[in-house]
Amino acid sequence: EDQVTQSPEALRLQEGESSSLNCSYTVSGLRGLFWYRQDPGKGPEFLFTLYSAGEEKEKERLKATLTKKESFLHITAPKPEDSATYLCAVQPNSGGYQKVTFGIGTKLQVIP
C-alpha cells in the first residue's frame, strides 16, 4: 500500500526565515510526486510534479526536490502570504489516473 508521511504537521516561521517541509513516501514504483497548496476554505492548488530522483522545480520562493524516498519543499525568505497547508501526493507507475495517495499536509504559518 502506498504511503505518504509529511512532517512537521505544523510550522511557524518569522517572515524571511527559510525552512523546509518534508514528504516521505513509499510506493511501488513512482510515476510522479505532487505538491499542492491549500488555503483555508479552498480546494488544493497544484504547485509541482516531480518524476525522478534528483529533479528540482522552482516557483517564486518555493523549490521542490526529490530523492528516492522523500521530497522536500524549500521555502526561501517566506512572506505572510505563503501561509497555507502544503500537501504532498504520490502516484505509482502501476494503475491508472486515480491511484494518487495524499498526505495529511503541513500547516505553515508565516508571521510578519
- What are the helix (H) ranges across the chain? none
What is the nearest approach in angstroms of other proteins to the Cβ of residue 1?
A: 11
What is the nearest approach in angstroms of other proteins to the Cβ of residue 41?
A: 7
- CB closer to other proteins, 32 vs 70: 32
Q: How far apart are CA 20 and CA 38, in angstroms?
A: 17
Residue 8 CB: number of other CB atoms within 10 A?
A: 12
What is the nearest approach in angstroms of other proteins to the Cβ of residue 102?
A: 4
Binding stretches for other proteins (CB under 8 A): 4, 31-32, 34, 36, 41-47, 49, 51, 87, 89, 91, 96-98, 100-105
9, three cell numbers: 504537521
- CB closer to other proteins, 18 vs 28: 28
Residue 33 CB: number of other CB atoms within 10 A?
A: 23
